[in-house]
Chain A
Amino acid sequence: MRMTETNEAGLIARILDGEKDLFHELIRPYERMVYLTLFSILKNEADAEDGAQEAMINAYRHLASFRGEAKFSTWLTTIAINEGRKRLRKAKTAAEESIEEEAEGHEGDYTPAPLTDWREIPLEALERKEIREALRGAVAELPDIYRQVFTLRDLEELNVEETAQALGINANVVKVRLHRARILLQKRLVPFLRTTAPPRRWFFGRA
């Protein structure tokens, strides 16, 4: 559960006043978020963990520059993204980066996979470990720009504006990338579910 913004503002003021150890408490609700943000950029557990530690330390060192214009969570996410991008730049050649930049304009096929037997998949199937593994794999294979938006929106549950702010893109771009990410995942996972799910009645339908 996240702290209220008022609590956070109070904690931040006390930390800046010298109660440094309260920083542990301040960031505790965001540990997962920061790690997942780094992981969405670096795609490697060890690098993501290192990056998350570094991002938290950066947040501590620059805490005085947090003015409360953005939510603390958005500010922290921005720091995490910057840390991830910095690490990526170090690891990547310039050539690879320019290919990534082109990905947005690429005319891909963003139509979902039609299926008629999805309703045969039981709720229990969603409980299976293999499906979570398949989803992790599919998310890892998304083009970077889609994976980052998907992670912030659907995994960390930031809203469109917060996502746009954290990534430095506009809200419409967030919506387009999110739509494409979701469709690409749907396409990837449908065949997997169809071939592994036992033929049982599926009742996890629309409310």
Chain B
Amino acid sequence: MKLDCKHVWEHISEYIDKTVDANLREDIERHLEHCEICSAILDSTRNILVLTADDRTFELPVGYSKRLHERLAKELESSEKDPKKE
């Protein structure tokens, strides 16, 4: 089946996640071979995901972990009952 660009865009997310079925995958790949626009859209979307997974993009507040464990330590200390018996 010959796909148009719009059809490829509709499946771009599933294509990235490799959840499109084999036939559709082949059709999309054939389309991408000759379509610069769709290839660029695919690459740009993938790069956004690469950036998203980069720990430097979404950073934790400085000292977050330390404060979290201090608070937990207090909670653990103050809870006389262990969690099972609550």
Determine if A9 is an interface residue (Cβ-Cβ < 8 Å): no
- Complex CA gap A185/B44 in Å reads 10
Bound complex: CA of A179 vs CA of B75, how far in Å? Answer: 40
Are B82's CB and A18's CB within 8 A?
yes
Residue of B nearest to A134 (CB): B51
Quote the shortest CB–CB distance from A162 to chain B (angstroms).
Answer: 14
Task: Scan residues 18-71 of chain B and give those whose CB is less than 8 A from a CB of chain A.
Answer: 19, 32, 36-37, 39-58, 60-61, 64-65, 67-69, 71
A154→B36 CA distance, assembly (Å): 25
Cβ-based interface call for A96 (8 A): no
The answer to whether A182 and B43 touch across the interface, beta carbons within 8 angstroms, is no
Chain B binding site: helix, strand, loop or mixed by DSSP? helix
Least distance between A203 CB and chain B CB atoms (Å):
11
A103 at the binding interface (Cβ < 8 Å): no
> Shortest beta-carbon distance, B46 to chain A, in Å?
8
| Docked complex Cα distance between A181 and B79 (Å) | 42
Interface residues on B, range: 35 or more
Contact-size category for A:
35 or more
Inter-chain contact B52/A154, CB cutoff 8 Å:
yes
Number of inter-chain CB pairs below 8 Å = 151
Whether A119 and B40, one on each chain, are in contact in the complex, defined by CB atoms closer than 8 angstroms, is yes
Assess A119 versus B58: contact at CB under 8 Å? Given A57-B75, A183-B12: no
Complex contact A36–B58 (CB within 8 A) = yes
Known A118-B43, A126-B50, A186-B44; contact A132-B86, beta-carbon cutoff 8 A: no
Of all chain B residues, the one with the shortest Cβ separation from A66 is B83
Does B2 sit at the interface, judged by CB under 8 A?
no
B72 interface residue (CB < 8 Å to A) = yes
Complex CA distance for A150 and B52, rounded to whole angstroms: 10
Residues of B within 8 A of A57 (CB): 71-72, 75
Select the stretch in A69-77, A87-95, A109-117 that faces chain B: A109-117
- On whether the beta carbons of B82 and A186 are closer than 8 Å, the reply is no
Partner of B86, one of A35, A61, A112, A193: A61
* A114-141 vs B, Cβ < 8 Å mask (1 yes, 0 no): 1111110000001000011001100100
Interface centre among B58, B71, B79 (most CB of A within 10 A): B58
Name A's B-contacting residues (CB within 8 A).
15-18, 20-21, 23-24, 27, 31-32, 35-36, 39, 45, 49, 52-53, 56-57, 60-64, 111-119, 126, 131-132, 135-136, 139, 150, 154-155, 157, 160, 175, 178-179, 182-183, 185-186, 189-190, 193, 204-206
**Apart from A39-B58, A175-B14, A206-B39: 17 A-B pairs, beta carbons within 8 A:** A15-B82, A16-B83, A24-B72, A35-B60, A49-B67, A56-B68, A57-B72, A57-B75, A114-B40, A117-B40, A126-B47, A135-B51, A160-B19, A179-B14, A186-B45, A189-B44, A190-B44
